[in-house]
Amino acid sequence: MHLSHHACPHLGIRAPRPARTGADRGVIVEKAEPCGQEALDFAVRKFMQRDVDVEFDSIDKTGGFIGTMYISKTENAAVDLVWEGLANVHSYSANSLSWSKQLYRRSG
């Protein structure tokens, strides 16, 4: 799971980006957005090294997969990020999702 591309409006959410470092890992090439590191830390703790199911919906223009990740077959990663206050609902793309009601309930 590559978490540096946390801006995911295709998935119904928009999460802040953490800082990005250059190839030598010492130089910051992009500053973190507010709460970006917290969102990354939460995602690493919650999702890394876990059994997950992924439903792929499409491919973006750069070849990245767009889909939904579930933990324990039922827990939606995007909903978890919104619930924790680490992502916002991106209404335009969220409205087309079968699970959009979950996002809106959790964002309140």
The structure tokens listed for 63 are 């070849």
Q: Does residue 96 belong to any structural domain of this protein?
A: yes
- Local confidence band at 34 (pLDDT 50, 70, 90 cut-offs): very high
Q: Does residue 64 belong to any structural domain of this protein?
A: yes
Structure confidence by residue, pLDDT tens digits, 18-27? 988 887 767 8
CATH of the domain at 24: 2.40.50.90
Q: Does residue 84 belong to any structural domain of this protein?
A: yes
Domain of 15? Answer: 9-107
Mean pLDDT score, 77-92: 88
The structure tokens listed for 56 are 């792929």
Report how many domains make up the chain: 1
Q: What is the pTM of this model?
A: 0.75
The structure tokens listed for 74 are 């039922």
Q: What is the pLDDT of residue 44?
A: 93
- In 3D space, the residue among 70, 67, 74, 66 whose CA is nearest the CA of residue 53 turns out to be 70
